[in-house]
Chains A and B, each alone.
Chain A
Amino acid sequence: MNIIVCMKQVVDLEQIRIKTQTREPVMEGLPVMFGDFDKCALEEAVRLKEEHGGKVTAVAAGSAKLKDTIKEALAIGADEAIILTDEAYQGSDTMGSARLLAQVIQKIGDYDLILMGDGSADDYSGEVPPRVAEILDLPQAGFAREIKVVDDALHVTRDLEAAHETIALELPALVSVSTEINTPPLPALTDILKAGRKPLHTWAPDEVGVPDKAGLDPAQIGTNASVVEVLSNLAPVQDRKEIIFEDVEEGLAEITKALESEGVLEQ
């Protein structure tokens, strides 16, 4: 089973500071990484490959730092990786990202399954998997917490609001996974060393594109193709008292008093 896993390089959310005056997030100089959803998708691909044979190709778009970040994907177990770091791809909205990934997938061509995370760690819009599935005209299933191959079909157990639903999909298909599907182990040192010797390709815009079309249409991807206009992006105002007691005795006495006076405890 040949599997393509799409991953997104994101900034470390835990390290985003909020400017006190303006409530704006400070996005500069943050470390980059792959989100948990993406690593779970990759781990699942590796597991399926070990069971059924085939090949796992990781595809990721992001800044130039991706050359380093992608090594983690190769260490987790991707056989090969294609990274998309060209300036022309930057600033893409979900539509541009989906078009780019779909073009790359079509160029790779030989696949049975596409795996992704349910959402990126940073935006979690969940838009990219259904959009890519639509461009490639594939059946899809999201919120997967279990994937099994049964005869020629893929059985996907979906974690919905009030039910676990198992559906059988004809392949090829696109599946996005939740973080409960597995626990990606930290790569062993030998895997990290091996990762450096695995094939890693950087595809420029003229290399991306389905075989019968020349490269990429710049009007379809990147900042200029974005249809989303962000009017503001600010942290909500949080006005908490932050009265913290390190002495348990004192804390219990003061807090029960305070809760009574705030009217949340009956006196």
Chain B
Amino acid sequence: MSGILIYSEVKSTFLGLLTRGRALAEALDQPLTAALLGEESAAWAGEALSHGAERVFVGDSPQLDVFQARTYADALAQVAAQAEADIILTGSTLRGRELAPRLTQKLEAGCATDVTDLAVEDRRLITQRRALGGKTLSTEARTSPKQVIAVMPKLYEAEPGGDGTGEIVEIPLELEPSATRLVESKAKPSGGVDIEAAEILIGVGRGFEKEEDLQLAQDLADALGGAVGCTRPLSYDYNWLPDDLTIGLSGKICAPRLYIALGLSGQIQHTVGIMDSDVILAINKEKSAPMFKMSDYGIVGDLYEVVPRLVEKIRGAGN
């Protein structure tokens, strides 16, 4: 027996993976099962059935109250054994990135994280992921009997399907103490803007000298009806903008109609987050900035001079 098991601690990712899992299960002629760990997610069991799971395993334990990859990998391995699953799909959230390799090692399986495409060819599961810091896309298969794949969290949309005749199975879990205690969890401030949904996106980088100067970018965004995002140093390091406005490999992957890069050099970790934009415009005072090579249009100039002029032009064009 073999099968596909779906797990994610994020509901939309869990249901999206079940949706994709239906097609993969059919192509591989294997049963599709799902795992729900911990009290909160047990409530999703009904939806797991309506999204095509043939069996939904629900397990809880006080040891699951604080996330510890060791404990969660142990729990998921116990579910995978009962589900007789050889392929385990999970979300490549930050927790998923810890859980998937740990479970893989426990099962002596093969692994891929941050997967951007999942397909079946010749009855083999084929994955795609970014490699070499985002410079290339690596298409891979694994020769191990078992595999654990962590998929980009928003890759697949959830759609109900399947015959809905599956069953819910409660599974007793035997878990060691997690050796982990929660001290504090502080919600990060949010930028209040969904930059992934923005049609026009302005990206700001270290070419801005002071936090106040970001108003220039906001003026441009306002003139265009767009949103402002940033490279990782400006959010995570300088705290000039909330972390959820970070564009790039370790932030949001965006595909706006127009992306305007202001004072950012174009490091690959950032540009993978805007590569699929329809049109890219860059403003940078360094003629040699790699960003120009990734752009449709560019102006070599001081953003402090060029951006206010651009805002003027756009406001003029709108009249």
Contact = CB atoms under 8 A, between A and B. Distances in A.
Nearest to A256: B313
A35 to B, nearest CB: 9
Nearest to A183: B237
B296 A242 contact: yes
Given A245-B300, A258-B297, A167 B181 contact: yes
A227 B101 contact: no
A93 B69 CA distance: 21
A221 B180 CA distance: 31
A124 B287 CA distance: 30
Contacts of B112: 125, 228
A122 interface: yes
A138 B98 CA distance: 13
A233 B137 contact: yes
B114 A232 contact: no
A242 B105 contact: no
A206 B115 CA distance: 37
Chain B contact residues: over half helix, strand or loop, or mixed? mixed
Contact of A264 (B108, B249, B279, B292): B279
A3 to B, nearest CB: 18
Interface stretch (A46-54, A65-73, A103-111, A154-162): A154-162
Interface stretch (B29-37, B51-59, B206-214, B303-311): B303-311
Given A125-B114, A134-B70, A166-B183, A248 B305 contact: yes
A180 B187 CA distance: 18
A33 interface: no
A98 B105 contact: yes
Nearest to B109: A227
A242 B293 contact: yes
B66 A238 contact: no
Contacts of A186: none
Interface in A84-124: 94-95, 98, 121-124
A135 B187 CA distance: 33
A163 B313 CA distance: 40
Nearest to B153: A161
A264 B108 CA distance: 50
B229 to A, nearest CB: 15
A231 to B, nearest CB: 4
B282 to A, nearest CB: 8
Given A165-B184, A241-B296, 14 more contacts: A95-B105, A124-B114, A130-B69, A131-B102, A139-B178, A139-B179, A162-B190, A167-B180, A168-B182, A242-B293, A242-B296, A244-B300, A245-B299, A246-B300
Interface of A: 13, 16, 18, 25, 94-95, 98, 121-131, 133-135, 137-143, 145, 153, 155, 158-170, 173, 178, 180, 227-236, 238, 240-246, 248, 251-256, 258-260, 262, 264-267
Q: Which 4 A-B pairs have the closest CB atoms?
A: A130-B102, A127-B101, A251-B299, A134-B105
